């Protein structure tokens, strides 16, 4: 299996007026929301499984169990943020992602590490990442390394 998309996967997000607070910069929790938007899009487009399908048809989920965030510069309204997503490590049930937000030039605005854990519903217990998903994830990792 080969991954034929962009390496790394990116999502561009324009900072909205309503994402910013009275200090004129992005309100902190919105950065996590942006990173989750990149993660959701990556699952849909790279792994090929929308979260709704995973939840409703496969009886699974991949909730975030840990996050680490570094806020390096303060995004402001109308700024375009290019987020790229890399898979840092892949375990039996869990995946560690690194989402980096950059301005159009070459300045990092934030770095968000996300650890997702696959669980079976409704027991909500960790379960192995399905083999079909794992193959696509490994192909993505490989493509990003050599790309």
Residues that bind a copy of itself (CB under 8 A): 16-18, 20-25, 27-30, 32-33, 36-37, 40, 44, 50-52, 55-56, 61, 63-71, 74, 76-78, 121, 124
Minimum Å gap between C-beta 143 and a copy of itself is 24
Non-local (6+) Cβ contacts of 126 within 8 A are 93, 94, 117, 118, 119
Give the three-state DSSP class for 83.
strand
Q: Which is nearer to a copy of itself, 29 or 104 (CB)?
A: 29
Q: Which is nearer to a copy of itself, 64 or 141 (CB)?
A: 64
Q: Which is nearer to a copy of itself, 72 or 132 (CB)?
A: 72
Minimum Å gap between C-beta 49 and a copy of itself is 11
Helices (H), the chain: 28-42, 51-56, 131-146
Please provide the distance, in angstroms rounded to a whole number, between the alpha carbons at the two ends of the chain.
Answer: 16
């Amino acid at each position: 299996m080969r991954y034929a998309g962009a390496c790394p996967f990116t999502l561009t997000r324009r900072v909205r007026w309503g994402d910013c607070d009275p200090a004129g910069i992005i309100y902190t929790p919105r950065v996590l929301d942006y990173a989750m938007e990149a993660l959701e899009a990556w699952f849909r487009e790279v792994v090929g499984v929308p979260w709704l399908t995973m939840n409703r048809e496969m009886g699974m989920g991949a909730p975030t169990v840990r996050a680490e965030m570094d806020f390096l510069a303060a995004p402001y309204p109308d700024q375009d943020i290019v987020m790229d997503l890399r898979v840092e490590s892949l375990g039996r049930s869990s995946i560690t992602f690194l989402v980096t937000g950059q301005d159009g030039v070459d300045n990092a605005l934030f770095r968000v590490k996300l650890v997702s854990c696959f669980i079976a519903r409704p027991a909500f217990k960790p379960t192995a990442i399905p083999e079909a998903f794992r193959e696509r994830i490994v192909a993505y990792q490989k493509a990003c390394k050599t790309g």
